[in-house]
Amino acid sequence: MSKITKEQYEFALVRVEELLILVDENTPANDKNVVELTVMSDIVIAYEKKHYPIEKPAVAKLIELSLEEKGMTQKELAGYIGVSPSRINDYIAGRSEPTLRIARLLCMELNYRRRQCCGSKIVKSV
């Protein structure tokens, strides 16, 4: 795709909003509005990927957010994965990184897929 200008991006954003009103899951894939929505969405995605990249959260932030989301304490998580509560605190404070074995256990306990948790993306399992 050629370089997308800010004006093209802003136009595509507005057009996506307009098109979302006109299509639903029952609209055929070859419908002109669906085709245009796909093109406009691709423009928005390409522009945002270049100008607004999203970095993966650090392990510390992942653990902290997951504990809050699950209403779990550091002590409870430590018990589930077999490490001391102070070790969980070290991970959250950024003083230490979990080993691959512990990262795998963290991902399992906090419902994150291992590949995404330890790789380039972090995706919550459903």
pLDDT at 125: 46
Classified by CATH at the fold level, domain 59-118 comes out as 434 Repressor (Amino-terminal Domain) (1.10.260)
Tokens of 71: 């209403």
**CATH 1.10.260.40 occupies which residues in the chain?**
59-118
Of residues 42 and 58, more confidently modeled: 42
pLDDT at 65: 87
pLDDT at 75: 94
Report long-range pairs for 49-52 (Cβ below 8 Å, ≥24 apart): 50/4, 51/9
